[in-house]
Structure 1
Amino acid sequence: MTSHSFSVAMHIGAHKTATSHLQRSLKRASDALAEQGVRYYGPEYFRLPGHSLQALFGFRPGIKAGGAMRPADAQLALLRQNGHRLVLSEENFIGPLNQPHGRGMKHRYKSADDRLTKLSKAIGQPVDVFLAIRRPTAFINSAYCQMLLGGRVQPVAMFQRRNPLSSVDWSELIARLRAAAGVGRLVVWQYEDYGAVFSQIMAGMVGEGAASYVPPRPRYINRGLSADAVVHVLSQTDTMGEEKIARAARNMFPVEQGHAPFDGFAPEEHAIGDAAYARQLAQIAQMQGVTLLRPAPD
């Protein structure tokens, strides 16, 4: 369906790993990238009604084969616009950060490999996959705050029981992605290294020649909640809607003004999570066909 000079990159997140910062950086540079033959599409496109990747290429549940708005090759040509590199970014493609109604999640992104295989089949060629991972305790903390900001309130202890540290197993996820049919290059980096490896990420996504056209935005996009903000949210009754309460609390008790970031874990729990993270990183570093980006040595 496509020529060998054309390739596709898919940034799949994960959630809460500076995805919005990366997406906004690409979006700001999209005109310059287009002049270099690189076409970028992010959440502002894929979250329009009927514009999810599953809908565009006809493989979402409930759509029979060939039930997309237009044939796959026509859809691809529309996105490609004669470019040689198509860069897609949508963390929701591989699944939600949190389950609806605050339910638990024992295994994260369990459909990610299957969805990537279906996307590759629809496009007609392998898809290069880009994924950031994060310290498990920080990831769970951020997922909890995001749930509050989304208007669903529950005690942190309940959330942690429903979303244990064992649910954050990056090596298991990456092994599944590597084994999935249709996945080409698989590039991984740590959220903790994001700033230091940003240029490497861009070089892999848009190509060495175009990477200089994508400078990082000067600051992060989505601010987390402080400990005081979480206490405030949990103390409120539903007088204005939980989502409004959480967003108001973020402004009332901002981390940027000295309020300590929310942390629902004790030091010994962080130690357990960090030990698991170290084991996962060691396993990922040894996986064939996986590139784990590292900061350049000083």
Structure 2
Amino acid sequence: MPRILLHIGAHKTATSYMQKKLALNVDLLARRGFHYDPLETFRKGFTLLLNEETTRENDYVKLLNGKAKSMSLLISEENIMGVPGDLPREHKYYIRARQRLARTAELFHTATPEIFLSLREYAGFAVSMYSEYIRHQKYLPFAEYRAIFEASNFSWLSVIDDIYAAVPGAKLTLWDFADFRNFEKQVFQSMLGFDPDIFENPVGPVRESFSEVAIRAIEVLSGALKHDEVKKLVNPIARNLPKGDQYPAFDPMDAEAKASLKARYKADLAAIAAKYPAVTFIGNRP
């Protein structure tokens, strides 16, 4: 029976890598009974609908629903839950995740989607989301961003609550981003039901991460140039000042803050496991 599979992120948990890997193997997936559209195609045809108040089907959604009658529909789109700009603008990550997920399920005529989500410890997640935010939006000092993050009291347990409130019949599979490289095969196998060793693998970095000096360069340029001018320079700066031995990674959290957030993350994972025993954890279960 065809399945509806939603890989909804989270952001900064190897989603770009997974999407690139799936895109490289579209023909193989089709032969195995899965329809997958690369992110750019799906985002253009579907994700913008989540910003509207209507649940109308456009031609692209009708096409996908037609495919879903005979093939499993595999979707990988972290923006289904929201975007990195949610925190600075609305003071909460994924503030409309419940509505957006419910709308997604309605548009694909399913009450029982299989949802896949990677979680990440809070310090690393906040720093990476900040980096993603300034990649696209006007520069904001990390100290200001961190203050908003801390005030939001962000919790993965609340995200899971929203998922089940939106789609009570969902089958949810989780894994820790820190474990992804060790359990990548199990993640894909859980999604697809076959050994992913037959996949072609992406080559090279999918997206550059920021070094400390790259962030400082962006900060300086933001004080001298217009936002549109800085935005054009962000990716070249990241490529030419990559994190590594020469340029240490952007790491603005002190050890005490990291330890506190790590403890909170561990407690929240245990709370998720206790509250939702039907959730599948890939890798090291809390």
* Secondary structure, counterpart of 2:4 in structure 1: strand
Match of 2:219 among 234, 247, 250: 234
Task: Kindly provide the CA deviation profile for residues 241-282 of structure 1, in whole angstroms up to 9, marking residues without a partner as x.
Answer: 121332232133211453111011111111111111111111
Gaps of 5+ in 1: none
Confirm or deny that 1:279 pairs with 2:267.
yes
The residue aligned with 1:288 is 277
TM-score, L = length of structure 1? 0.84
Confirm or deny that 1:61 pairs with 2:52.
yes
Structure with a larger share of its residues in helix: 2
Confirm or deny that 1:76 pairs with 2:76.
no
The residue aligned with 1:17 is 13
Give the whole-Å Cα distance in 2 for the aligned partners of 1:247 and 1:132: 25
The residue aligned with 1:213 is 198
* Secondary structure, counterpart of 2:12 in structure 1: coil
Asked if 1 retains the 8 angstrom alpha-carbon contact of 2:208 and 2:239, the reply is no
Gaps of 5+ in 2: none
Deviation at 1:91, TM superposition (A): 0.7
Confirm or deny that 1:136 pairs with 2:122.
yes
* Secondary structure, counterpart of 1:103 in structure 2: helix
Give the whole-Å Cα distance in 2 for the aligned partners of 1:95 and 1:18: 17
The residue aligned with 2:164 is 178
CA 1:106–1:279 in structure 2 vs 1: closer, same or farther (change >3 Å)?
farther
Count of residues paired in the alignment: 280
Match of 2:239 among 244, 251, 255: 251
Deviates more, 1:215-224 or 1:271-280: 215-224
The residue aligned with 2:25 is 29
Give the whole-Å Cα distance in 2 for the aligned partners of 1:45 and 1:91: 14
Confirm or deny that 1:52 pairs with 2:46.
yes
- The CA RMSD measured in Å over matched residues stands at 2.6
Asked if 2 retains the 8 angstrom alpha-carbon contact of 1:42 and 1:90, the reply is no
Asked if 2 retains the 8 angstrom alpha-carbon contact of 1:185 and 1:290, the reply is yes
Identity of aligned residues (%): 23
Deviation at 1:186, TM superposition (A): 0.2
Deviation at 1:23, TM superposition (A): 0.5
* Secondary structure, counterpart of 1:39 in structure 2: strand
